[in-house]
Amino acid sequence: MGAWHLVRHADGDGRHHVRAAHLPAAERGFILRQQVTPPTSGAACPDFAQAEAVPLEEAVLARIWESLDARQWPPAPEGAAPAKRETLTVGTHHVPVLQFETAQPQANNVRVQAYAADPWEDALSGLAHEARFQPLLDHVTPGGGGTQLTDWGVWVPGVTP
């Protein structure tokens, strides 16, 4: 059993693709990670033959170093306007977020980033911890590309999410 989440990537030219990240629970001292294009039918993760095996202690230490690096939560982008409290709909989940907008006058656009207001919020139940501390939304308007978390859940072998 583990966790999965879907992230939609949009290119600046309007093309979209979705990537699924599967983060099964630690097994024999390792965390298995795999990113795939989700299948349209069948098991979400039929096998983990191509998965990256990360030693558990390495994954834990990486999270500790990341947390020590952050001076505040959420990390405010340089030059961003003060955060606005919003609600981001991700699949069936409604997540309280802090949204930052950073003007990019040289490109005549605005970068929008949204982080979970509280990474331990009940609304994030089932989302892998490492995904909770990343931008849930990061895109450029108008017409730019970006990424957005589109859904997540718990993965059980042999069960399609």
pLDDT in tens, 40-75: 665 555 566 677 888 988 988 987 887 777 678 888
The pTM (predicted TM-score) of the whole model is: 0.80
Q: Characterize 63-73 residue by residue with b for buried, 16 or more Cβ atoms within 10 angstroms of its Cβ, and e for exposed.
A: eeeeeeeeeee
Taking the C-alpha atoms of residue 134 and residue 13, their distance in angstroms, rounded to an integer, is 24
Taking the C-alpha atoms of residue 101 and residue 139, their distance in angstroms, rounded to an integer, is 10
Specify the pLDDT at position 95: 97
Check if CATH label 2.60.40 holds for domain 2-155: no
In the chain, where the domains are located: 2-155
